[in-house]
Each structure stands twice: as structure tokens, then as C-alpha cells.
């Protein structure tokens, strides 16, 4: 069991972002939001069935806008409701703004043991095009401050395929990120998502051939520098894979609290449901609130696709037996689509693992089509 906690405010909304994030006002409702998060968690406790937490992820938005005091109250409250695994991973998303960096040492003292820093680029022109509020110097300093604060495990978020970016620029960003000695890199291509400013006013992004060149050259560079690609856009040093995200990709259960947070939950009878919380912060905080906005019980014929949609993002795939463990369905039930995917060269011919081929990793959507209900 993992826990995702959503904090939906940012200094301002980035033009590419389709997450549930909102520009912060003059004052953040920090205290009342923490109270509401803990009430939300208390309402969800029956779904935990007494399981301990293996990870907590504070995402957003920009969680590092909240004070250390707010996270202290929040972690204390979570700990009163749920037990923590001895080696629990607790991640907090942060931006490189100087004001937030000053809090890093306080966060570390609270037991938060992993940061995910949203750098996106080390080129000032690119950062301005992306609507980011930090500059390259702040991004570089953030990594140093994280280490000095005691974080020996941190991720850098980095984008490629940016407006006007060439191969040299993309690789320069990667080299700068590597030089800062993170333990994990999330390196992903900019995509234009509906309901964003970039969707309605699209920038000029690199052509497909250049995007392929960037992807191949970047993966070669990362491998040479000791970063192993273990998921579609995730690269890690040995032993530093993101445990919270691995829980998602192996179809594990997770609670979700906060405005717009999602959850995936199994019950002792083998039923699996997805839930989602009230999206708008003002509605989530309203006195007459209902935390949960909706839920959906997954039908048996949906489970193969739901499982594979996550598991096949992993370059090494998953043990074949995990399919039955996480879905309650017999492995024989997906024998036909697996055989078809193997014949197409998209799934490895290994009865012990469900693993995409190199081609299957590149054409993941084509591979997943075989498992649609």
C-alpha cells in the first residue's frame, strides 16, 4: 500500500501542464488544507485493510510551497492512522526557486528522504518558453542544496523535444543534469496536452526525425553514465529506482488524498476499484464537501489491459505470476493476446516474464492494443 498526497497550488500555471494545479493566491490555506487531508485519509482508512505504507509521495502542484510545519503536522497525522514500513520512501516534489530551497533541510529532518526537483531544462530561453519561474542558475543550485540538506536520493525532472531545441541542446541539458549527481532522472518528451495553453497556442517543436535522434542519443549517454532505463521515461542509479512509482507500474494498491487525487484499491474479496476525489480546491475545502467525487469497479475483462498498461512500461517487465496475484485472473486467460503480441515482435517469448521487446517499448500503444477488452 502506497499513499499519494496532492497539493494543488503552484506560483503560476505552466503552459504545458495538464495536471490539477492552480495558481496560488496571496496566502495558501495551509492549515485548513492539512486538516482536510487528514479528514480525507480518515474516511479512506477502511480501504487500507490494516496494511502498512511502503511509500508516500507528495505531488502537485508544487508541494514545496507548503512549510515544514505543515508537513510535520501532515506526517504526524498520517502516522497516527497508518503504520510506516521500516524503510519507507517519502518523496516530495519541489521546484528550484530559492525560497523553496531554504526549506530542504527542514523537510529532511521530518523524515522526507527523497526529493523530485522540477528542473525541465538548464537553458534560460527554454525555461522562459516553458513558463518556468526559475533560471538555470537556480536549477543548478537546487541540486547542491538538496545534497547539503542531507538528501542522498533525489530525482531531477528533465524534458526534451522543447520548442526550438536541437540535438546539441538536448544533450547539453542531460550532461548538466548528470553532472549534478542525481540518483534518478525522469527524462521525458514534451507533449501537447488538451486543456493547456500549448494545446490552444502550440509552439513549434522538433520534427519526428529529430525527436528520434534526441531519444537515441540521450539513452546512449545515460547508459554510458550508469543510469539504467527501467521504465519508459525513468532512469536510475543502481538501487535507486522510485519505489512509489514501481508500485503503480506493478499494479499495486495506493490511497489518494487531496483535491483531484486518484486511488487504486483491492479488497479482500478480490474486487478492484479506482476512485477519485473532488477536483477543485475550493470545492474540496468547502464545509459541505464530499471528498470522493466518484469510483468505478473494474470488470474482469478490463483487468488485463489495466495491468498491462502499467506493467509493460517497465523495460524488464514483471514476473508472469504477478498477473494472477494482482488481478485474481488465471494467466491462461491472456494466452491468446500474449501469443499474438509475441508473433508481432512486441512481447518477449519468455513464459516466466511479461516483458516488452525493444520494439514493444518503442511502440507501446501498439502492444497494449492486444489486451483491450
- Each residue of 81-97: pLDDT tens digit? 999 999 999 999 998 87
Confidence at 156, pLDDT banded by 50, 70, 90: very high
Confidence at 98, pLDDT banded by 50, 70, 90: low
Task: Indicate the residue among 199, 219, 245 that finishes a domain.
Answer: 245
339: in domain: yes
Q: What pLDDT is recorded for position 287?
A: 83
Q: Are residues 157 and 304 in the same domain?
A: no
Nearest-angstrom CA–CA distance, 259 and 83: 23
The mean pLDDT value for 44-69 works out to: 96
Q: Which residue has the cell 506526517?
A: 75
| DSSP-assigned letter for residue 239 | T
Confidence at 152, pLDDT banded by 50, 70, 90: very high
Q: In the numeric block, which cell numbers belong to residue 196? A: 493547456
9: in domain: yes
Q: Are residues 320 and 226 in the same domain?
A: no
Q: Are residues 75 and 193 in the same domain?
A: yes
Confidence at 27, pLDDT banded by 50, 70, 90: confident
Q: Are residues 311 and 183 in the same domain?
A: no
| Cα-Cα-Cα-Cα dihedral sign, residues 204, 208, 212, 215 | positive
CA atoms within 13 A on the CB side of 256: 24
289: in domain: no
Q: What pLDDT is recorded for position 56?
A: 98
The mean pLDDT value for 38-64 works out to: 96
Q: Are residues 309 and 240 in the same domain?
A: no
Q: Are residues 238 and 314 in the same domain?
A: no
Q: Are residues 6 and 155 in the same domain?
A: yes
274: in domain: no
Q: Which residue has the cell 512509482?
A: 245
251: in domain: no
Q: Are residues 103 and 227 in the same domain?
A: yes
- Each residue of 99-110: pLDDT tens digit? 667 799 999 999
The mean pLDDT value for 342-371 works out to: 97
Q: Give me the CATH number covering residue 41.
A: 3.20.20.70
pLDDT at residue 43 greater than cutoff 80: yes
Q: Are residues 346 and 204 in the same domain?
A: no
Domain tally for the chain? Answer: 2
| DSSP-assigned letter for residue 330 | -
Q: What pLDDT is recorded for position 366?
A: 98
Confidence at 338, pLDDT banded by 50, 70, 90: very high
Q: Are residues 240 and 330 in the same domain?
A: no
pLDDT at residue 371 greater than cutoff 80: yes
277: in domain: no
Q: Give me the CATH number covering residue 333.
A: 1.10.10.10
pLDDT at residue 244 greater than cutoff 90: yes
Nearest-angstrom CA–CA distance, 177 and 156: 7
Task: Indicate the residue among 212, 230, 245 that finishes a domain.
Answer: 245
- Write out the residue range of the structural domain in which residue 56 sits: 1-245
Q: What pLDDT is recorded for position 99?
A: 61
270: in domain: no
Mean pLDDT, the chain, rounded, equals: 95
Q: Comparing C-alpha atoms, which of 315, 320, 328, 324 is closest to residue 367? A: 315
Task: Indicate the residue among 245, 270, 289 that finishes a domain.
Answer: 245
pLDDT at residue 26 greater than cutoff 90: no
Q: What pLDDT is recorded for position 53?
A: 98
Q: Are residues 343 and 238 in the same domain?
A: no
CB 105 within 8 A of CB 113: no
Confidence at 31, pLDDT banded by 50, 70, 90: very high
265: in domain: no
Q: Are residues 51 and 115 in the same domain?
A: yes
The mean pLDDT value for 63-73 works out to: 95
Confidence at 79, pLDDT banded by 50, 70, 90: very high
Amino acid at each position: 500500500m502506497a499513499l499519494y498526497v496532492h497539493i494543488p497550488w503552484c506560483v503560476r500555471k505552466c503552459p504545458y501542464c495538464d495536471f490539477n494545479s492552480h495558481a496560488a493566491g496571496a496566502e495558501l490555506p495551509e492549515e485548513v488544507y492539512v486538516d482536510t487531508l487528514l479528514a480525507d485519509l480518515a474516511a479512506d482508512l477502511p480501504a487500507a485493510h490494516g496494511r502498512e505504507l511502503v511509500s508516500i509521495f507528495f505531488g502537485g502542484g508544487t508541494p514545496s510551497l507548503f512549510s515544514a510545519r505543515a508537513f510535520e503536522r501532515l506526517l504526524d497525522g498520517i502516522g497516527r492512522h497508518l503504520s510506516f514500513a521500516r524503510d519507507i520512501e517519502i518523496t516530495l516534489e519541489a521546484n528550484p526557486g530559492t525560497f523553496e530551497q531554504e526549506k530542504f533541510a527542514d523537510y529532511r529532518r521530518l523524515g522526507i528522504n527523497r526529493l523530485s526537483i522540477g528542473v525541465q531544462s538548464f537553458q534560460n530561453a527554454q525555461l522562459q518558453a516553458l513558463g518556468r519561474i526559475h533560471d538555470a542558475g537556480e536549477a543548478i543550485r537546487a541540486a547542491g542544496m538538496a545534497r547539503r540538506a542531507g538528501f542522498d536520493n533525489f530525482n531531477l525532472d528533465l524534458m526534451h523535444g522543447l520548442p526550438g531545441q536541437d540535438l546539441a541542446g538536448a544533450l547539453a541539458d542531460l550532461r548538466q543534469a548528470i553532472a549534478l549527481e542525481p540518483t534518478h532522472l525522469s527524462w521525458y518528451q514534451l507533449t501537447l496536452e488538451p486543456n493547456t495553453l500549448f494545446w490552444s497556442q502550440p509552439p513549434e517543436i522538433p520534427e519526428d526525425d529529430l525527436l528520434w535522434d534526441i531519444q537515441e542519443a540521450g539513452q546512449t549517454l545515460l547508459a554510458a553514465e550508469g543510469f539504467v532505463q527501467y521504465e519508459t521515461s525513468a532512469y536510475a542509479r543502481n538501487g535507486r529506482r522510485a519505489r512509489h512509482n514501481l508500485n503503480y507500474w506493478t499494479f499495486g494498491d495506493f490511497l489518494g488524498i487531496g483535491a483531484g487525487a486518484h486511488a487504486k484499491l483491492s479488497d479482500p474479496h478480490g474486487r478492484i476499484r479506482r476512485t477519485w476525489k473532488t477536483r477543485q480546491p475550493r470545492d474540496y475545502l468547502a464545509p459541505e464537501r464530499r471528498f470522493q467525487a466518484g469510483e468505478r469497479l473494474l470488470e474482469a475483462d478490463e483487468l488485463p489491459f489495466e495491468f498491462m498498461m502499467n506493467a509493460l512500461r517497465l523495460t524488464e517487465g514483471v514476473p508472469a505470476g504477478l498477473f494472477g496475484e494482482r488481478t485474481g485472473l488465471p494467466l491462461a486467460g491472456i494466452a491468446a493476446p500474449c501469443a499474438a503480441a509475441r508473433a508481432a515482435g512486441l512481447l518477449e517469448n519468455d513464459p516466466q516474464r511479461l516483458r516488452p521487446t525493444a520494439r514493444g517499448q518503442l511502440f507501446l500503444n501498439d502492444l497494449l492494443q492486444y489486451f483491450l477488452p
